Amino acid sequence: MAAQPNFSSVMTVLRERAEEILIDDAISVSADDAIGGGTRCSATACTQIAAKKLCVGHHDRWKSAGRPELDAWDPGPEPVGSKTLSLSGLPVPLKWELAYAIALTREDPDPPTMRLSSMQNFIRVLEASGITSLMGHPETAWPIMKAQRTAAGTMKLKPGLLTYAIDAVDQLHGRGGIDDEYHLDVWRVRRIRLHKRTNGTILRFTEIGRPWLRDAVKQFIKWRNETEYSITCMQRDVITLTRLSTALHLVAGPHATPSD
């Protein structure tokens, strides 16, 4: 097994990638960006984000020109300046981690998307959260994510930039593979069922108290996953086997063994 990158080398990569897109702690965004983008300005060849039909610069020119019909109006060159996402209020390494993830979305053919206004709100909540790193906070406890419990053993979390960033930084640390997930007692299905839309589903084994039974259930669900069993059916299996664990506790006591 390859050695995992050390903390110092990971921080170096994060800082260097962040510095590629951060200027004075802000990231310039255009309409076509997956993160921070929006509706493109209607002016010919302009890549900036429209407030309504036009970007702010072209809107001011259009007003100064007497509000002509857009089809007959020469908008001139693209205005200087663009919208930015300020990360100045975020601590390091969270600032670098988020910038790193945004940089990756610009290379990804199928990235998560978030409009500029939503992204600005997202950053404000991060600033107020007191969280300093994606790696230092349990994913299921993020204050900016609404969790919808569906049944015992499962939870749905809204996927998007946050989960994308967590996965990217985990991979940078040498973690986040399928085998890494199998060793945990809470599985993020997006990490074990690759290339499938999972709606943020989580399989939770923590309610199965006996380690020997929990390990057996995890092995069974792992086999289900590897044989392309449906996610819904795996959820049902976890629920059923968790109930079996509870029944075993009631009948045989907390120290029951397979021989019981």
DSSP 198-244: -TTEEEE-TT---HHHHHHHHHHHHHHHHTT--HHHHHHHHHHHHHH
Average pLDDT of the residues in 52-66: 86
Answer whether residue 70 is part of any domain.
yes
Whole-model pTM: value is 0.79
Cβ pair 105, 143 in contact under 8 A: no
Q: Is residue 3 part of a domain?
A: no
CA dihedral 178, 192, 103, 175 (to 10 degrees): -20
**Boundary-marking domain end, from 137, 170, 203:** 137
| Residue 128 and residue 58 share a domain | yes
Question: Looking at residue 195, what is its pLDDT?
Answer: 65
Q: 12 pLDDT band (50/70/90 cuts)? A: very high
Place of tokens 């299905």: 189
Residues 117 and 169 in one domain: no
Q: Is residue 5 part of a domain?
A: no
Q: Are residues 108 and 185 in the same domain?
A: no
> Is residue 92 a part of any domain in this protein?
yes
Same domain, 94 and 158: no
- pLDDT surpasses 50 at 150: no
Average pLDDT, the chain: 85
Domain containing residue 163: 139-260
Residue 234 covered by a domain: yes
End-of-domain residue from the set 103, 118, 137: 137
pLDDT-derived band at 41, boundaries 50, 70, 90: confident
**Max Cα-Cα span within the chain:** 88
Is residue 183 located within the same domain as residue 77? no
Q: What's the number of domains the chain is made of?
A: 2
Q: Do residues 9 and 176 lie in contact, with contact meaning Cβ atoms separated by under 8 Å?
A: no
Q: Are residues 127 and 155 in the same domain?
A: no
Q: How confident is the model at residue 156 (pLDDT cuts 50, 70, 90)?
A: very low
Dihedral (C-alpha) 220, 226, 229, 231: value to the nearest 10 degrees? 90
Same domain, 109 and 171: no
User: Could you tell me the CA-to-CA distances from 73 to 56, 61, 67, 195 in Å, in that order?
Assistant: 16, 10, 9, 46
CA 55 to chain centre: 29
Among candidate residues 84, 106, 137, the one where a domain is terminated? 137
Please check whether residues 26 and 111 belong to one and the same domain: yes
- Whether residues 50 and 35 fall in one domain: yes
Same domain, residue pair 52 and 165: no
Q: How many CB atoms lie within 10 A of CB 255?
A: 8
> Which residue type, as a one-letter code, is found at position 194?
L
Among 72, 162, 166, 66, which residue's Cα sits nearest to residue 119? 162
Question: Is the predicted pLDDT of residue 71 greater than 70, yes or no?
Answer: yes
Q: Within this chain, do residues 109 and 197 fall inside the same structural domain, yes or no?
A: no
Domain co-membership, 124 together with 146 = no
